[in-house]
């Protein structure tokens, strides 16, 4: 039987995995510079964590989660997003007792059952950051700026922030009343899922993908007209800080994100795209009630998640070169039994010095070895025969310009490090 990969997943093979490593390294470096430390959480959690944290009325909880029971009958779910698990770790390990703010980042696979399409698989990958303990609007701006810095340093052009405020509980209570009042006359025309959300969380109707529901939603009142003084003041300071940081943003009062835990700032990163995702490559927002909802103290938080596949797809569409196959620094050719044996130690010394070195293990002839070195993009080929070994010398060929030199064998490592 020939086994095939499950639908909505992918193998990251050599030549591709190096591109992932490159963008991961970029993200790690900018998190380090901004003072964020890595946290790693399990890929599955108790299902109730996501019901409480993500929200019962979200598409994720209603339709997309991979949930199962273990042998003890416990309800578990493969994580559909990163924030809930990170908040759980923050609370369970009592990190709230440490000096605040706490600034963490994560990366890894997430799982949602939905129709696979460009940049979105059933197993997909995210970078994300979470900052706990502060309500300072300048921290909101820092989080948004970190994501933008990563995009810029990766070489992605034309990234814009879609920005909104979803208010505090006071703002949302007033807004919910107005939304219900607006949507009730259209109740029979709304999509079934939108009707189910009308009295539970009418803001979620604004996130509907149904064409008629979207058409109706276009005339709905704006959350920005119902912000409390506190929420308005917070939002104004976020906008001012982004302007100071030269971060382009567009106000989008229909942006509610796909999760129920957001309060105050909500944002999304968009980029011009040929794909079907309308340019969305990540987003996030503030969640001042989520820590308490998951069993911790009343402590605020803010974060974002960035889709790795979407970033790589956008880089490819813009023609940005991302390093793929790593070139070999030195291909070692040995000719003769003594040289072959000596090659074992030479190869190890090259690698110990930080040089990427390879040799033949397939019994290839000399010409075939040179072809293999060329296929691997080797910068130099070092050739050692029994006679050279006895004389303490080795021949080295520069694959770029064809120049050849005979050097002392004990200088090989030092010489190559000077060249590469």
In order, the DSSP letters of 214-283 are HHHHTTSPPGGGS--HHHHHHHHHHHHHHHHTT--EEE-TT---S-TT-EEEEEEEE---SSSSTTEEEE
DSSP structure string for 328-367: PSEEEEEESHHHHHHHHHHHHHHHHTT--EEE--S---HH
- Domain assignment present for residue 76? The answer is yes
Q: pLDDT tens-digit profile of 217-248?
A: 889 999 999 999 999 999 999 999 999 999 99
User: What pLDDT score does 116 carry?
Assistant: 86
Residues 405, 336 within the same domain: yes
- Whether residue 146 is predicted with pLDDT greater than 90 in this model: the reply is yes
For residue 123, name the pLDDT band (cuts at 50, 70, 90).
very high
- Degrees (nearest 5) of the Cα angle 89, 93, 94? 115
Contact 106/40 with Cβ under 8 angstroms? yes
* pLDDT value at residue 120: 82
Do 297 and 365 lie in one domain? The reply is no
| 238 & 274 share domain | yes
| Inside any domain, residue 26 | yes
Three-state SS for 67? strand
Say if residue 40 is in the same domain as residue 142: yes
pLDDT above 80 for 57: no
Supply the range of the domain harboring residue 375: 330-419
Q: Give me the percent of the chain exceeding a pLDDT of 70.
A: 96
> What's the structural domain count of the chain?
2
Residue with tokens 């103290």: 297
Asked whether residue 2 is assigned to any structural domain, the reply reads no
Indicate if 93 and 161 belong to the same structural domain: yes
Q: What's the CATH code of the domain at 276?
A: 3.30.930.10
pLDDT at 323: 81
Domain co-membership, 161 together with 305 = yes
Q: Is the pTM of this model over 0.85?
A: yes
């Amino acid at each position: 039987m020939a086994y095939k990969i499950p639908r909505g997943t992918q193998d990251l093979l050599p030549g591709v995995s190096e591109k992932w490593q490159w963008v991961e390294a970029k993200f790690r470096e900018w998190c380090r510079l901004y003072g964020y430390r890595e946290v790693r959480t399990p890929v599955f959690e108790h299902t109730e964590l996501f019901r409480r944290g993500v929200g019962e009325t979200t598409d994720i909880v209603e339709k997309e989660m991979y949930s199962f029971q273990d042998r003890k009958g416990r309800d578990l779910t493969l994580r559909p997003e990163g924030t809930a698990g990170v908040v759980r770790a923050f609370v369970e390990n009592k990190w709230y007792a440490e000096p605040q703010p706490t600034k963490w980042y994560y990366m890894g696979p997430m799982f949602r059952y939905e129709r696979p399409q460009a940049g979105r698989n059933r197993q997909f990958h995210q970078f994300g950051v979470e900052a706990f303990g502060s309500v300072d609007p300048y921290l909101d701006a820092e989080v948004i700026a970190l994501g933008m810095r990563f995009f810029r340093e990766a070489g992605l052009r034309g990234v814009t922030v879609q920005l909104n405020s979803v208010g505090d509980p006071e703002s949302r209570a007033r807004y919910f009343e107005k939304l219900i009042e607006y949507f009730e006359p259209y109740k029979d025309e709304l999509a079934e899922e939108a009707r189910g959300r009308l009295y539970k969380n009418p803001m979620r109707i604004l996130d509907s993908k149904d064409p008629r529901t979207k058409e109706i939603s276009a005339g709905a009142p704006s959350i920005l007209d119902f912000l409390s003084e506190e929420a308005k003041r917070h939002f104004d300071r976020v906008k001012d800080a982004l302007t100071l940081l030269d971060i382009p943003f567009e106000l989008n009062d229909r942006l509610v994100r796909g999760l129920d835990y957001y309060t105050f700032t909500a944002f999304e990163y968009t980029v011009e795209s040929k794909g079907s995702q309308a340019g969305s490559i990540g987003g996030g927002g503030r969640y001042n009630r989520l820590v308490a909802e998951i069993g911790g103290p009343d402590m605020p938080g803010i974060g974002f998640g960035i889709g790795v596949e979407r970033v790589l797809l956008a880089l490819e569409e813009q023609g940005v070169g991302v390093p793929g196959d790593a070139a070999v620094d030195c291909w070692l050719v040995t000719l003769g039994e003594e040289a072959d044996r000596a090659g074992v130690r030479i190869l190890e010394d090259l690698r110990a010095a930080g040089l990427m070195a390879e040799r033949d293990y397939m019994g290839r002839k000399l010409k075939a070895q040179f072809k293999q070195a060329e296929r691997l993009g080797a910068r130099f080929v070092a050739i050692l025969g029994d006679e050279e070994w006895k004389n303490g010398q080795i021949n080295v060929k520069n694959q770029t310009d064809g120049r050849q030199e005979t050097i002392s064998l004990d200088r090989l490592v030092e010489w190559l490090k000077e060249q590469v």
